[in-house]
Amino acid sequence: MATPGKTTWTAPGATDPELACPVTPVVDIVFSRWTTPILWALHTYGRQRFVELERRITRITPKVLTERLRRLERDGLVIRTYHPEVPPRVEYEISDLGRSLAPLFAHLTEWAADNLPKVEQARQAYDDKPA
């Protein structure tokens, strides 16, 4: 039962933790490898061509960037615009749905600033424990 004023993490009646947690599908969509850097680049720098994204996200391979952009387009987070000219031009931009994630990312950025040092301390304490 949910406590008044508190957010519940569990879907009513669900017992399988994977199904019970309503955040799981969001994590699968938004936090897969390379998705956040792509969304960040599009949000920060606006509409870009593939090669511009490739230059900004230097460690991603062209194959993976293509796959991620297609997935983000399919999920409605990115808009792909094809310009039929010579040579053909394709541009990518963050959609309104993708932009709606900005408060989530802002909150996560704040959490990271407040808590990553604590995580590092916990890791160090764990690693320093005798085996």
Give the residue-averaged pLDDT of 34-62. Answer: 95
To the nearest 10 degrees (0 to 180), the angle between helices 102-128 and 35-45 is 140
Give the residue-averaged pLDDT of 41-46. Answer: 96
Task: List strands edge to edge, sheet with 48-49.
Answer: 48-49, 89-94, 78-83
Side chain identity at residue 57, one-letter code: I
The reported pTM is 0.77
Q: What pLDDT score was predicted for residue 8?
A: 57
Q: What pLDDT score was predicted for residue 86?
A: 93
Domain region containing 72: 22-100
CATH number, residue 59:
1.10.10.10
- The three-state secondary structure class of 66 is helix
Q: Name the pLDDT band for 12 (thresholds 50, 70, 90).
A: low
Let me know if residue 109 belongs to a domain.
Answer: no
Q: Which stretch, 7-16, 25-34, 77-86, has highest mean pLDDT? A: 77-86
Q: Name the pLDDT band for 119 (thresholds 50, 70, 90).
A: very high
Q: How does strand 78-83 pair with strand 89-94?
A: antiparallel
